[in-house]
Chain A
Amino acid sequence: MVSLSDYLILSAVIFCIGLVGIFINRTNIITLLMCVELILVAVNTNFIAFSHFLGNEAGQIFVFFILTVAAAEVAIGLAILTLLFRNKGSINVDVTNSLKG
């Protein structure tokens, strides 16, 4: 039997991989988008696990909304990326360094 804490540990691990991935990633911005998705997946895992063990559907409904919002978020992220590519000709992380003070 898989217990609640197993799910929570799994989601914490995914969450950390996503978070660390954002901060140590120095190459491609698409990878950043993937890491953001990993964070959201971790949250979804949490909500579904809690919802199952509490016997309360509210968490699953929340997951539905997170999924659709994540889709909208990725769409906007990709749109910004294409604009960045048009402007700079590259989508490497190191092209985003012109704003300094």
Chain B
Amino acid sequence: MLENYLPIMVFIFLGIAFGVGPMLIGYLLGPSKPDEEKNSQFECGFPAFDDSRMYFNIRYYLVAILFILFDLEVAFVFPWAVVQSDLGWFGFIAMSVFLFLLVVGFVFEWKKGALEWE
């Protein structure tokens, strides 16, 4: 029975190899001769005046979260629109229910004040 799991073992080992391997190869084989010129800023010719990993205002995240939801739900509307004439009233009502649920979500976030910038 145990030999049935051989492919899984192979998969696990290959998987680890694929994940860890390239990093290891880069670490081992890549020449590492830092000097002052190499470590200095490359872009635009002047030293950076801020850390690129700076913090964004938390409100951007909120907008991004709300955007991503409504943005992707719309993906369901396109395939529906293509076959709407075949689906008839059933399709129309089903899509209305779906959009109604989205509107409920929208009302909720509006009333909760998630859309206020200040």
Q: Report the Cα distance A12→B68, complex, angstroms.
A: 27
Residues A19 and B68 in contact in the complex (CB < 8 Å), given A64-B75, A64-B79: no
Beyond A78-B65, A82-B61, whether A20 also contacts B76 by CB under 8 A is no
In angstroms, Cα B57 to Cα A85, docked, is 12
Q: Are B15 and A12 in contact (CB under 8 A)?
A: yes
Q: On chain B, which size bracket covers the interface?
A: 20 to 34
B23 nearest CB across to chain A (Å): 9
Expressed in whole angstroms, the Cα–Cα distance for A40 and B71 within the complex equals: 18
Contact with B along A47-82 (1 / 0, CB 8 A): 000000000000000001001100110110011011
Contacts of A20 in B (CB 8 A): 15-16, 18-20
Instruction: State how many angstroms separate the Cβ of A75 from the closest Cβ of chain B.
Output: 4
1/0 per position for B52-88, CB-CB distance to A under 8 A? Answer: 0000001001101110110111011001000000000
Using A64-B75, A71-B69, A75-B68 as known contacts, say yes or no to A16 and B61 having CB atoms under 8 A apart.
no
Give me the interface of A with B, judged by CB distance under 8 Å.
12-13, 15-17, 19-21, 24, 64, 67-68, 71-72, 74-75, 78-79, 81-82, 85-86
